[in-house]
Amino acid sequence: MKKIILAIAFVSAVFNAATAQKIKGSDTVLPLAQKEAEVYMKKNKAARITVTGGGSGVGISSLIDNTTDVAMSSRKMKLSEKMKVNDGGVSSAEVVIAYDALAVIVNPANKVSQLTREQLEGIYTGKIKNWNQVGGENTPIVVYGRESSSGTFDFFKEHVLNNKNYAASVMSMPATGAIVQSVSQTKGAIGYVGLAYVENNVKALSVSFNKGKNFVAPSIATAKNKTYPIVRPLYFYYLTSASKMVKPFVDFILSSEGQTIVAKEGFVSLN
């Protein structure tokens, strides 16, 4: 009898350890992953999931250092990072769990309501310095961005700035919420945030990626029908050697139940 109890205790301990997983990375994905983990843990009493933020770069470098099981990322893994993962003789798997539209926001008092990609590039690389150069009032442009550890920082650089470097005068904020706060209280401000963060105290701009032929406002609908151009996939990265442990949770997110949560949290679901 005693032996059986011991055996059960041992097995359950192993089982517990096997299902306890750490998820780390993008602050954009953080609220979504937390919600998914909450619901998942309610359904599977044995599962233990801890979710922490820090930025996409932080998550991926933790995956490389093997201090996390899953890296959340709002950008694709860079080739250099992939090579570092492969250096350890292991390979990583990539799963898209949702999409996120990136909105360019300005102060509600700003008259400008649409910009082209070229104008955005000019503003963020420091070549356009005043709103009257893009059809607004004579106010200096105050440019807000994220810290370099943020996946949003990299995604915006790749897709909107054509891989050019940001101007040094771009102010880097430690969190998306701080960008919304600053833009709402600064008249000449411009910033970029995930669609889920857009509130009434800031104005989201329509953008055009075909030199001003047509401008599209960001919304879940325009992101879904692919007319809004600044849409990015949100990724989960994990080592293939750990897939057995990670897979059930990933599958849950990809299930229709998981995708309902995606939509509820203000992101764009996969289908």
Contacting residues toward another protein, per CB under 8 A: 54-55, 57-58, 61, 64-65, 79-80, 83-84, 125, 139-140, 142, 147-149, 162-165, 168-174, 178, 181-182, 185-189
Is residue 46 within 8 A of residue 93, CB to CB? The reply is no
Task: Specify the residue, 30 or 268, whose C-beta has the smaller distance to another protein.
Answer: 30
What is the rounded distance in angstroms from the CA atom of residue 204 to the CA atom of residue 126? 21
| Rounded least distance, CB 186 to another protein, Å | 6
- DSSP string over 77-131: PPHHHHHHHHHTT--EEEEEEEEEEEEEEE-TT----EEEHHHHHHHHTTS--BG
Task: Specify the residue, 199 or 257, whose C-beta has the smaller distance to another protein.
Answer: 199
| Rounded least distance, CB 42 to another protein, Å | 30
Is residue 26 within 8 A of residue 59, CB to CB? The reply is yes
Distance (Å) of CA 154 to CA 148, 149, 269: 7, 8, 22
Residue 21 tokens read as 């997983």
Task: Specify the residue, 49 or 141, whose C-beta has the smaller distance to another protein.
Answer: 141
Residue 58 tokens read as 């932080």
Task: Specify the residue, 44 or 139, whose C-beta has the smaller distance to another protein.
Answer: 139
| Rounded least distance, CB 16 to another protein, Å | 29
| Rounded least distance, CB 248 to another protein, Å | 27
| Rounded least distance, CB 9 to another protein, Å | 37
- 3-state helix, strand, coil split of the chain in percent (to 5) is 40, 25, 35
| Rounded least distance, CB 113 to another protein, Å | 20
Task: Specify the residue, 24 or 262, whose C-beta has the smaller distance to another protein.
Answer: 24
What is the rounded distance in angstroms from the CA atom of residue 209 to the CA atom of residue 215? 8
Task: Specify the residue, 114 or 172, whose C-beta has the smaller distance to another protein.
Answer: 172
